Structure 1
């Protein structure tokens, strides 16, 4: 279905592996976990996280933007700037009316909300910042990105929990196919590692308690997995219609050739035990791509390191795909980046197919014996033409992207 192909011409990342595509890709290929004890969580039940290292908003943006933008927006602007430069585009000369922004996040700016709640409690309502709402509202993720780069086309934020970043790329693809715009900045950003949010996850029993070994805590598909480690950051891609990208001589990293989105309609937090929703999304993405189950060479799995998710997803892949595609989860390195995860993992999938290199599943030492899919234990060089990137979210929301070689 070449007429439905959407080209990815720009990539941008801010992850716990580093600031930029290069450091992030090196970290996941090297299997270097970013998890560590987090001083800001010192009073929490779980005190480990995957933070973005050496992120200096004043230097990367400006002191004014560092003060006036929540961390999740800061991540997005830095990643978007890298993606736009990688695409060879100049926001000062593009037709802004034909440039859209579709970004995903699960929560917006909880760090700002918590900080201003302390101000309200300790100093009174008159001292609360007038920037509270412009900083924390989820829609400001796309709004501030549009302001920064002069993108005047469709401007959307989608919230499908931990599937948000992938959903945003799927929606952006639809806008391009409908002719609503010519370029879309798509992806996701998240900065939810705050004491309150992490306390909530801990109370749910979702987080790994392996505090004696933070670097080994996130271990997707491993028999000893006990929960996820929270991460933060952003992943942004520049999307264009393939014909437009080729006409301007752009480098194409890969193509988004299919998208599937479904709901489990089952439970507020647990995936469907039979993974029927994510299976339907995977089959829809393959059908959209005009591909067969045996065409998939690689899967970047959601692979959260939680007992329920990993088993259900692996069993779904086993019965849905043929040909034993190589499966990995990069969350062993980055942790679970929540609403940014799907976008970041889509970028990793694009890099895998472009470079012929599948990153390892970090910390996978003893696979769950109930899991039969072919898992990547080490960095693996291989050539393949089609990959899937899976994303699942609370509320039973599922998104699958089918990604093909350029």
Structure 2
């Protein structure tokens, strides 16, 4: 089996328009959550989110492209451009024929959907733009990445709610690990911050009106975010032969299903995914220094995840660092695991663990070191990234410091 390394990373999210800006914000414990700005926001009871502010689509795309690209596709292409540019790869010949892209996304083109429902039902129009379907479909971003970068190998989209990105990156890892292809582009994106997207989440009654405070006793719900994270997963010998800079090594993953409830998380399902990722990576609990938690800020997730980690790590749980960066950038739903993998790369590469901001009161049911409010320096050899989705679908990735 082949070793798999990350040779490129790209993002746009509420913390920054690229990777350096995002990592700087994580190091500083900066909050990207603020007042939402879009049509009819005053009709919502939830009016905060991790929105990408100051974004001008016309600066990155021409008019013809914008007629085809929903906001989630735009974010994906921006992140993919950064990741592939950093990797130094150009896709032609045999490499183009074998390389592909796997992305995670949950909602698809929600902005397009919202705009066109308004057009038909509110404005009474009888026609919509002929590109509405190709613009809103979940696989639009993956397809446009494959076209822009000449990726002719396995390319598809994974949609498993909040675990979508981790599932997608796990699939990409397996393809490179198993020798199917030397390079895969992987990650995820989401842009649900429109009237209909937020209104739907309001109905679940799991949203906070003021802040995301994972693991804090006074937490009162999750906060949505938007954006994308994209990575270049490359076979190690292929990367070494061309002298590529290596950000981290991907060493394993696991995927489980709770098979119990459509919305309530299961400690057992989460624990099996965490333990399975370590088993696949061939590491022991005391090898793991950091976990990027799913950490949504809801009462159910945070105590369930803490209990799962405590069960799997036993006595070593007291030595673990575990934080939720959702406190800063919000919950990107299908794209969340991709942006959060940046925190894992920062931990293993730079020795800086991103904090859980907004932490105010200890919760005895979340009695782990959640790196409250301030980033911390630590030597981290192995990091895990947790993603636990509605539907009981769990995916955990393992990264190792590359030396």
Question: Cα distance, 1:369 vs. partner?
Answer: 2.3
Q: Report the counterpart of residue 285 of structure 1 in structure 2.
A: 277
Paired residue for 2:263? 269
Question: Which of 339, 343, 349 is residue 344 of structure 2 equivalent to?
Answer: 349
2:288 aligned with 1:316? no
1:50 aligned residue: 50
Matching of residue 367 in structure 1 with residue 359 in structure 2: no
User: Number of aligned pairs?
Assistant: 396
Distance 1:328 1:122 in 2: 43
Residue 181 of structure 1, CA deviation:
1.7
Instruction: Please give the residue correspondences for 1:3-402 in structure 2 after superposition, counting only pairs within 5 Å.
Output: 3-40=1-38, 41-91=41-91, 95-122=95-122, 126-210=126-210, 217-272=211-266, 275-321=267-313, 322-323=315-316, 324-377=319-372, 378-402=374-398
Q: Which aligned segments of 4 or more residues in structure 1 are displaced greater than 4 angstroms?
A: 122-126
Change (3 A) 1:367 1:94: farther
Shift, 1:124, TM fit = 5.1
Query: 1:9 and 1:177 mapped to 2: Cα distance?
Result: 15
Structure 2 partner of 1:214: none
Structure 1 SS opposite 2:100: strand
1:206: Cα distance to partner? 1.3
Instruction: Measure how far apart 1:201 and its partner are.
Output: 1.2
| Cα distance change, pair 96–124 in 1 and its aligned pair in 2 (3 A) | farther
Q: TM-score, normalised by structure 2?
A: 0.95
Conserved in 1, the CA contact under 8 Å of 2:23 and 2:342? no
Gaps of 5+ in 2: none
Give the unaligned 5+ runs of structure 1.
211-216
Q: Is contact 1:57–1:63 with CA below 8 Å preserved after alignment?
A: no
Alpha-carbon shift at residue 160 of structure 1 (Å):
1.0
SS of 1:84's equivalent in the other structure is: helix
Per-residue Cα deviation, 1:254-296 (whole angstroms, up to 9, x for no partner): 0110100001111111102xx1111111111111111111110
Q: 1:38 to 1:123 in 2, by over 3 A?
A: closer
Check the 8 A contact 1:190/1:339 in 2, yes or no: yes
Deviation at 1:67, TM superposition (A): 3.2
Give the superposition deviation at 1:367.
Answer: 2.2
Structure 1 residue matching 2:116: 3-state secondary structure: helix
User: 2 CA distance for matches of 1:43 and 1:123?
Assistant: 18
**1:118 Cα deviation from its structure 2 partner:** 1.6
Deviates more, 1:189-198 or 1:90-99: 90-99
Indicate if the aligned counterparts of 1:19 and 1:53 stay in contact, CA closer than 8 A.
Answer: no
Distance 2:91 2:132 in 1: 28
TM superposition score normalised by structure 1: 0.94
Contact 1:70 1:111 in 2 (8 A): yes
The CA deviation at 1:126 is: 4.2
